[in-house]
């Protein structure tokens, strides 16, 4: 059983990745890294990570979010976060990463922010 399932949707220029499961050390983190890398290779630089169904994330998963953010920014793109659970929001607050990521509760608002 995969730790993390990632499904992909396109809304205009924005690629939405719906994540469900666990983003933890090992498989989960690697799956996210590979998906973001592939999107960048395809020239898709506006990426919205929907974390609404992510039940668990550890420091390695948080690190992967940061690495993905940096890789996308380096290519001139934008990686933003949607639907943070309370737990993930707490972890991003502890690590002061809420100051780094643009986060949204509403998908429409998130998509509008790219234009």
- Strand-strand pairing, 78-82 and 103-104: parallel
Place of tokens 């991003």: 92
Identify each DSSP E strand in 2-90 by its residue range.
Answer: 4-11, 14-23, 46-57, 78-82
Residue in 10, 41, 76, 96 binding other proteins, rule: CB under 8 A: 96
Site residues for other proteins, 29-88, by CB under 8 A, read 56, 58-60, 62-64, 66-67, 69-70, 87
Q: 3-state DSSP call for residue 98?
A: helix
Site residues for other proteins, 12-31, by CB under 8 A, read 24-26
Question: Shortest gap between Cβ of 115 and other proteins (angstroms)?
Answer: 26
Residues that bind other proteins (CB under 8 A): 24-26, 56, 58-60, 62-64, 66-67, 69-70, 87, 91, 94-97, 99-100
């Amino acid at each position: 059983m995969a730790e993390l399932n990632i499904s992909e949707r396109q809304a205009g220029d924005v690629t939405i990745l719906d994540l469900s499961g666990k983003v933890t050390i090992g498989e989960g983190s690697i799956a996210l890294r590979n998906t973001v890398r592939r999107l960048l290779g395809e020239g898709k630089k506006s990426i919205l990570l929907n974390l609404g169904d992510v039940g668990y994330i550890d420091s390695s998963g948080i690190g992967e979010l940061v690495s993905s953010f940096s890789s996308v920014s380096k290519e001139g793109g934008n990686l933003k976060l949607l639907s943070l659970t309370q737990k993930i929001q707490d972890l991003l607050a502890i690590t002061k990463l809420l100051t780094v990521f643009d986060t949204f509760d509403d998908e429409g608002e998130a998509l509008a922010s790219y234009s």
